[in-house]
Homo-oligomer: A and B are copies of this chain.
Amino acid sequence: MATSEPRATGGDPDPNSDNLRPPSTTYEYAWMHGCTRKLGMKICGFLQKNNSLEERGRLAGQKNFLSCDNSDRDARFRRTETDFSNLFARDLLPAKNGEEPTMQFLLEVVDILTNYVKKTFDRSTKVLDFHHPHQLLEGMEGFNLELSDQPESLEQILVDCRDTLKYGVRTGHPRFFNQLSSGLDIIGLAGEWLTSTANTNMFTYEIAPVFVLMEQLTLKKMREMIGWPGGEGDGLFSPGGAISNMYSVMIARYKYFPEVKTKGMSAAPRLVLFTSEHSHYSIKKAGAALGFGTDNVILLSTDERGRVIPADLEAKIIEAKQKGYVPLFVNATAGSTVYGAFDPISEIADICEKYNLWLHVDGAWGGGLLMSRKHRHKLNGIERANSVTWNPHKMMGAPLQCSAILVREKGILAGCNSMCAGYLFQPDKQYDVTYDTGDKAIQCGRHVDIFKFWLMWKAKGTVGFEQHIDKCLDLSQYLYNKIKNREGYQMVFDGVPQHTNVCFWYNPPSLRGMPDGEERREKLHRVAPKIKAMMMESGTTMVGYQPQGNKVNFFRMVISNPAVTQSDIDFLIDEIERLGHDL
């Protein structure tokens, strides 16, 4: 397979974004990224001033070093880099004499990454440089996704790294509002870099002693925030909220029908799960996967704000029992995906107690509010839950993936999942093997998701997370106040948002005079997708939209990135109006 020529490795990896950057800074940006480059400039400046040609030659002649192109009176600096075009992966460690190229290669990668980090926070940079799948598949000037039998040079690998970032989406950009997870936390990032360098596995204390203990202490702290006495209980970090929710259904089933573990679902009566019609689809997915069937996942009605109506829960429990089914599990959502709604946990807990049902709280999105003295009341009653999902990678800004399943009763996770594989979990080890976590999980190998979060907590303190959360909620209230009475806007539901979700329609002028009806609905349904497509093409911002129930497509604005300011909210509104005005 042939790849086209790699592009030059120096310079600005994102030329398409120049139009967004104030012209006066272009030159500076092109060269001043990366500390090594800065050092180079300082060295060059020094050399020029001293005009010691001999010394300059000695220094610049160093392999991997920097030279100054002095021919221009403006003292332009050209970087002479390691020649990666003749180096290959096989020349890196553990190769003999591989240390030097390894360090040079890693520092070159870091230069690319730190440059990307800087640009992520730079509002003059685009959020994305959109291309259609077929365009990227056909190959973009030197960036070929196809794999080949023969190795590529490290020069090409560095180009690939730059281009991968170039054609991606800057999820940490202050104008990226598309997902519940956004932002680029520097401490979290450092934590992830360390995690991948440590490259180990959570299943035993033996090979992840520090991480296993960090997980234990952090989970305890999270259980304390939930309000379980003494922070007692159990838990795990799992690969995302959907898997955490799946755990909750599994352990609920094990608690009430432990024989299912050995005999299968045929050992249990027809079990029924309850969750809001606004809840995350992972509860249904769990119902399908675990053998309950999606028909046995009963959807609960909600009020106009998307909160479960407790009376509906009770009525549906009674109805199920009358049919001879066995209600097992109720999921209360703390922060729904679209509306950001908080189900009334206390009232739901009353009903769960009355009917002896497992109460799970899906706080994947809203769990972070437990860190805020101002907002944690929205989760009142969570301390009565049997299990909780809480994703620090959403509202708390931890890098992906970071999701916890927390369980009030100790031992039940292990009871549910243990298979006691002798080749992994030897009881005759020299340390206290109760620290081994592998047999509690449905995974065998388990990625280290804890370190970045632990490090962020250390670096920010609980108060830092609180400030982060309060700030994002303040911003969403700013947005709400800005548009609630603004011409052309219509809120999907009334009232101050409970979470950072602000849901609204934008009516272009052409629709404003139109009478309600199918034609208007159809037109309005197409507005958000059209604006979104234009946003992505222009790369200026990103925000999500979706229909919900009988409501046509509306925008769902969410804020979880502390880099966002009021000016970014203003920008979004301006952009919607600019792009949507003539629709």
Contact = CB atoms under 8 A, between A and B. Distances in A.
B198 A196 contact: no
Interface stretch (A84-92, A378-386, A492-500): A84-92
A217 B459 contact: no
A19 interface: no
Interface string A410-428: 0000001101011110101
A116 B197 contact: yes
B107 A93 contact: no
Interface residues of A, number: 183
A355 interface: no
A518 interface: no
29 contacts: A34-B103, A42-B65, A102-B117, A102-B186, A103-B114, A106-B186, A113-B193, A134-B432, A149-B462, A150-B461, A151-B459, A151-B461, A151-B464, A152-B459, A164-B198, A164-B211, A193-B193, A195-B196, A196-B196, A239-B240, A264-B270, A266-B293, A282-B444, A285-B442, A422-B546, A422-B547, A423-B544, A430-B532, A430-B536
Interface string A197-217: 111110001111111011001
A192 interface: yes
A132 interface: yes
A390 to B, nearest CB: 14
Given A250-B289, A264-B287, 18 more contacts: A94-B174, A94-B562, A94-B563, A110-B193, A149-B462, A151-B459, A151-B460, A154-B459, A172-B199, A196-B399, A239-B443, A242-B444, A265-B265, A265-B293, A267-B293, A280-B444, A282-B444, A430-B529
Given A103-B35, A426-B546, A148 B194 contact: no
Interface in A348-388: none
Interface in A37-91: 39, 42-43, 46, 49-50, 52, 55, 59, 62, 65, 88-90
Nearest to A547: B422
Nearest to A463: B149
A100 to B, nearest CB: 10
A291 interface: yes
Q: What 9 A-B pairs are tightest by C-beta distance, nearest first? A: A291-B291, A264-B293, A192-B196, A94-B563, A430-B533, A239-B239, A265-B265, A265-B291, A423-B546
Contacts of A194: 109, 112-113, 161, 164-165
B103 A160 contact: no
Interface in A398-451: 399-401, 403, 416-417, 419, 421-424, 426, 428-432, 435, 442-448, 451
Contacts of A266: 265-266, 270, 293
